[in-house]
Structure 1
């Protein structure tokens, strides 16, 4: 079995841009770049869908990534708080009055 081919984002953008221009058919582009026509169509749809993000002023890609990271960390904090409360109540039940509550 052969290894999957990974294409660089620059290459994908170049091919998608040519597909958007429609100067050549997908079959011709496929032959020119050695990529399946379905893959070119997928790259073209992705480029068209994400073209608006190039003109956004507010948030950059780094900001979107950091928001996702923050959301992940908040969920982890919530999980740890639940675990701490559970263990505190369990130790209180085991130790009776000797146990200290948080």
Structure 2
């Protein structure tokens, strides 16, 4: 009977895929060393190669949008704080001690 399924972190997967790409050892040797089926290693390698281009994607537009959204939210919150401060001042000034 086999043991529980082993979970590999993304860092571990990346390190193992780099070992495959170096071609110093065969995929079957690495599979044996790490206790992984060869098909799993090949799938990780394929996935890594397919997603390699994502490393070079210019994500400044996404960051700029997030920054603008963040600044807009800050402005909204400052406006809300100002409104609440004004209401509190008015209530303190006009409260006569009666409870409704």
Measured on the aligned residues, the alpha-carbon RMSD in Å equals 2.1
Q: What TM-score comes out, normalization by structure 2 length?
A: 0.53
Q: Which residue in the other structure is 2:10 paired with?
A: 9
- Give every structure 1 segment of 4 or more consecutive aligned residues whose post-TM-superposition deviation is greater than 3 Å: none
Superposition map of 1:3-42 within 5 A: 3-42=4-43
Q: What TM-score comes out, normalization by structure 1 length?
A: 0.52
Corresponding pairs, count: 61
How many Å apart are 1:9 and its aligned residue? 0.5
Query: Which runs of 5 or more structure 2 residues have no equivalent in the other structure?
Result: 63-100
Query: Which runs of 5 or more structure 1 residues have no equivalent in the other structure?
Result: 64-102
